[in-house]
């Protein structure tokens, strides 16, 4: 059974419109794997718990980072969105089996929509902290250029590592955008030609993950190479 721990919010800022990064320093450090989540106790109203993925890599022991999208009328997300430094929170974790494999022997394709990036970011960070000569792709589906969560982090990583390919795809791109357009699943389908020695990790809202999973199967990925997490 996962431990219940407490921690204090040390930072909370808007990363992109309606998406907030909340950093919590736990009173006691708990080991976790990239991709795992914590159940956060929402103390407002009737106490509930909601899962949020850890967006920071395990190597960063200063805090647990969460990246939360404000959902209209959503109880937990609005609570998280309004947290301020100094606030105390209770969490239970780590939980989840959507984790990065220990040995990276294949190329890896990551695909996320929205805050689904939260569980993928620590996986990618961990891969490059350990070092790899495999090709690592990140297909990221969002609406507009202003909605690209962790844009700078991924661009910096891509400029340092020639084997990291960052492919944001915008469903509502402006005229000026010269990257990929349209739904991320279509872009992935178009760009992935060869699935030999590749694993695929998918995360985001359930509908998108389901579509991506079907595409991965159509492309020929065997089931054991398709790893996924659905957020709702």
Q: Does 63 bind ligand FAD (CB under 6 A)?
A: no
From the list 25, 74, 92, 161, which residue makes contact with ligand FAD (rule: CB under 6 A)?
74
Measured distance CA(5)–CA(140) in Å, rounded? 32
**From the CB of 130, what's the least distance to ligand FAD, in Å?**
23
- Measure CA 79 to chain center: 20
> How many of the other CB atoms lie within 10 Å of CB of 47?
9
Residue nearest to ligand FAD as judged by C-beta position: 74
Measured distance CA(156)–CA(159) in Å, rounded? 5
Q: In the structure encoding, which two tokens stand for residue 222, read together?
A: 């065997």
CB closer to ligand FAD out of 147 and 229: 229
**From the CB of 55, what's the least distance to ligand FAD, in Å?**
7
From the list 23, 69, 121, 213, which residue makes contact with ligand FAD (rule: CB under 6 A)?
69
Stretch of residues binding ligand FAD (CB under 6 A), selected from 62-70, 101-109, 158-166, 208-216: 62-70
Q: Where are the alpha helices (DSSP H) in 17-144?
A: 75-81, 117-130
Q: Does 68 bind ligand FAD (CB under 6 A)?
A: yes
Q: Does 216 bind ligand FAD (CB under 6 A)?
A: no
**From the CB of 18, what's the least distance to ligand FAD, in Å?**
10
Output the CA torsion sign for 188, 170, 211, 58.
positive
**Which strands, in side-by-side order, build the sheet including 48-53?**
48-53, 37-42, 88-95, 3-16, 19-26, 64-69
Q: Does 50 bind ligand FAD (CB under 6 A)?
A: yes
From the list 10, 11, 41, 51, which residue makes contact with ligand FAD (rule: CB under 6 A)?
51
Site for ligand FAD (CB under 6 A): how many residues?
Answer: 23
Measured distance CA(227)–CA(33) in Å, rounded? 15
Binding site for ligand FAD (CB under 6 A): 37, 50-53, 66-69, 71, 73-78, 96, 115, 118, 205, 229, 231-232
């Amino acid at each position: 059974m996962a431990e219940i721990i407490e921690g204090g919010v040390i930072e909370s800022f808007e990363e992109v419109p309606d998406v907030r990064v909340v950093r919590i320093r736990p009173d006691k450090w708990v080991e976790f794997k990239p991709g795992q989540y914590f159940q956060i106790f929402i103390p407002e109203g009737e106490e509930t718990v909601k899962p949020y993925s850890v967006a920071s890599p395990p190597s960063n022991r200063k805090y647990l980072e969460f990246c939360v999208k404000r959902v209209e009328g959503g109880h937990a997300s609005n609570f998280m969105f309004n947290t301020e430094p100094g606030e105390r929170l209770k969490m239970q974790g780590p939980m989840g089996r959507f984790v990065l494999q220990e040995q990276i022997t294949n190329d890896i394709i990551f695909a996320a929509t929205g805050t689904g990036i939260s569980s993928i970011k620590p996986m990618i960070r961990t891969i490059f902290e350990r070092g790899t000569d495999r090709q690592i792709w990140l297909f990221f589906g969002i609406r507009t250029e202003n909605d690209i969560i962790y844009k700078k982090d991924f661009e910096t990583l891509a400029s340092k590592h020639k084997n990291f390919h960052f492919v944001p795809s915008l469903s509502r791109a402006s005229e000026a955008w010269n990257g990929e357009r349209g739904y991320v699943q279509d872009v992935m389908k178009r760009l992935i030609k060869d699935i030999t020695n590749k694993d695929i990790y998918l995360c985001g809202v359930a509908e998108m993950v389901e579509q991506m999973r079907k595409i991965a199967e159509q492309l020929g990925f065997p089931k054991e190479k398709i790893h996924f997490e659905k957020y709702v």
